Structure 1
Amino acid sequence: MRIFSHTCSNTEIVCALGCGDQLVGVDADSDYPPEVVAGLPKTGRDLDLDVAAVHALQPDLVLSSLTVPGHEQVVAALQAAGLATLVCDPQSLDDVYDDIRRIAAALGVAERGAALVASMRSAMPMVEVAGARPRVLVEWWPKPVIAAARHSWVNDIIHRAGGINPWGTVEAKSVPLEYADAAAQRPDIVAMSWCGVKVENYRADKVRARPGWDGVPAVRNDCILAISEAFLGRPGPRLVEGYRQLRAAVAAAGSSATA
């Protein structure tokens, strides 16, 4: 089967299923695994996809998603071009697992999909916490602060890692916040996972310098960490690494609280 992947997460799912050799092209942001994507045609970024170029690659199936605002127009253009599409729109960790199984079934490797989901479940167990769970802010953007909300797989990951998301009851995928409103929730941990920014450019000093944040527990106790958006923002196999890093931060915050 000839597959075109329109999003990083779907590219990574295809490769984790052992089907990377079926990819005939990817979007320009798909950068993992490098040994697979380096030599593939790239037809533009996710919101600026060259649909004609995708069509020219003659894919049997285009894997797309609705995880970014504006993707719906791209999906409509792909379908208008007569391309068969499989569209993902995960909002929970279980949705991510369902999408992996759907993609695996479409590629004829359903058993690999089940195995991958089982592996991810095993690698992300529910952590039982003695006492209060640390309050975790996962922020997709620093100014304004954009926090993961209820309809996000990250909300589930925070809980599984032993934390609690102060915005986990907000009926949205994410929520923009004024600095004062974010500080008022007194997060114990701030995880920078800024979309579209390389992790080496995440700056904890930008968090510390926010007005009124000197009393925020995460700032006071230096619990500000950088977790690549590749590990939290892409609903695919590498969410396991994001979970591991959050779990380590939660454990460290718990140790500090009892010290």
Structure 2
Amino acid sequence: MVKHVRVSAFVVALAVLAGSCGSSTPARPPAPPAGSAGFPVTAGTLTLEEKPTRIVVLAPSATEMLFAIGAGEQVEAVDDNSTYPAEAPRSALSGFQPSAEAIAGHEPDLVVISNDLNQIVDQLGTLRIPVYLAPPARTLDDSYTQITELGRLTGHTAEAADVVTRMKDDIAKIVADTPQRQDKPTYYYELDQALYSVTGQTFIGELFGRLGLVNVADAVESSQVNGGYPQLSAEFLLQADPDLIFLADTKCCGQTPDTVKARPGWSGITAVRTNRVVPLDDDIASRWGPRVVDLVRTIADAAGEVR
């Protein structure tokens, strides 16, 4: 549940200061900063007059995108969940409980978020801090769009185009090299031990669909889909008997092929019995940045083992 917080007196003071600083008119226009050629630029609804040099990122996927396109040196701070790449300047900032005060303390000229929690967009807007919203991708095209727009906003348009092209080419090759079978293998994708999963209509589901796999969660009644993330039951999964199980809860929850096998009744599931329980890197499995190619490759390798 989203908790709305009150803007503190400190933030209000900063807003007043920002407003007063912007009210005076200089005698002559300031010289454009170095490296700002090509600006202003617009991406979505956001327009930046100058190239940002102090970016704060509260979205792990966006952090990976920015470093992949060569904008890492412009990143001032990232949130506590941005674990990749190693050189990303991690901080105590939270993407789940964003604080306008803490963000403003880094003096950013661009903030990148994936969710407007705590009404952070409005709070930062009061401070005249530009915000780019990169919501969770629903399709691969959404991911490509965000990479492209971040490239435009940071002055790395060409580099972003190269990243997108490589991703498309790599995924296309993986898909082309994966045998398409008439009897498509089925899979269960585990988000946590409460048996929350994804349907084929989600970003993750699209990746599996491209590789010709069938999601057992798609058989759940529409009233239980919960926005594409249904909670399944052990009884449902035992009956569905998937050919493959993918664990996206290895880091968070310590799940392994052995812990799955130890669950009551699960040793008889085809995926468990044939040793096709695939542990995933939680971070890669939950993000929609350039490393999605690694996830597609892992899925394809596992699918190729099904006979």
TMscore range, shorter length: 0.7 to 0.9
Determine if contact 2:143/2:288 at 8 Å carries over to the other structure.
yes
Question: Cα offset for 1:103?
Answer: 1.4
- 2:132 is matched with 86
Do the aligned partners of residues 203 and 79 (structure 1) sit closer, same or farther apart at CA in structure 2, a change above 3 Å counting? farther
Determine if contact 1:27/1:49 at 8 Å carries over to the other structure.
no
Segments of 5+ residues of structure 2 without an aligned counterpart are: 1-51
Residue type of the alignment partner of 1:8: P
Which of 99, 113, 126 is the equivalent residue of 1:64? 113
Q: How does the TM-score come out when normalised to structure 1?
A: 0.85
Q: How does the TM-score come out when normalised to structure 2?
A: 0.73
- Output the CA distance in 2 between the equivalents of 1:250 and 1:28: 34
Map 1:80-159 → 2, pairs under 5 A: 81-89=127-135, 90-125=137-172, 126=175, 127-142=178-193, 144-159=194-209
- 2:95 is matched with 46
- 2:298 is matched with 245
Which of 170, 173, 179 is the equivalent residue of 2:234? 179
- Output the CA distance in 2 between the equivalents of 1:151 and 1:65: 20
Do the aligned partners of residues 184 and 95 (structure 1) sit closer, same or farther apart at CA in structure 2, a change above 3 Å counting? farther
What is the root-mean-square deviation of aligned Cα atoms in Å? 2.2
Determine if contact 2:97/2:118 at 8 Å carries over to the other structure.
no
Do the aligned partners of residues 196 and 214 (structure 1) sit closer, same or farther apart at CA in structure 2, a change above 3 Å counting? closer
Do the aligned partners of residues 41 and 243 (structure 1) sit closer, same or farther apart at CA in structure 2, a change above 3 Å counting? closer
Deviations 1:188-211 (A, max 9, x none): 11110128617xx33222222233
- Output the CA distance in 2 between the equivalents of 1:31 and 1:76: 27
Deviations 1:36-73 (A, max 9, x none): 22xx251333213333121111111111113xxx8464
Aligned length: 245
State, as a whole percentage, how many aligned pairs show the same letter. 24
- Output the CA distance in 2 between the equivalents of 1:137 and 1:179: 12
Do the aligned partners of residues 160 and 30 (structure 1) sit closer, same or farther apart at CA in structure 2, a change above 3 Å counting? same
- 1:167 is matched with 217
Do the aligned partners of residues 134 and 77 (structure 1) sit closer, same or farther apart at CA in structure 2, a change above 3 Å counting? farther
Segments of 5+ residues of structure 1 without an aligned counterpart are: none
Determine if contact 1:195/1:233 at 8 Å carries over to the other structure.
no
- Output the CA distance in 2 between the equivalents of 1:81 and 1:128: 54
Deviations 1:151-191 (A, max 9, x none): 42211111223422223576623211111123332211111
Question: Cα offset for 1:108?
Answer: 2.2
- Output the CA distance in 1 between the equivalents of 2:122 and 2:192: 28
**Which structure has the larger Rg?**
2
Residue type of the alignment partner of 2:98: L
Task: Report the secondary structure of 1:232's partner residue.
Answer: helix
Determine if contact 1:151/1:174 at 8 Å carries over to the other structure.
no
Once structures 1 and 2 are overlaid, which stretch shifts more, 234-243 or 186-195?
186-195
- Output the CA distance in 2 between the equivalents of 1:233 and 1:41: 18
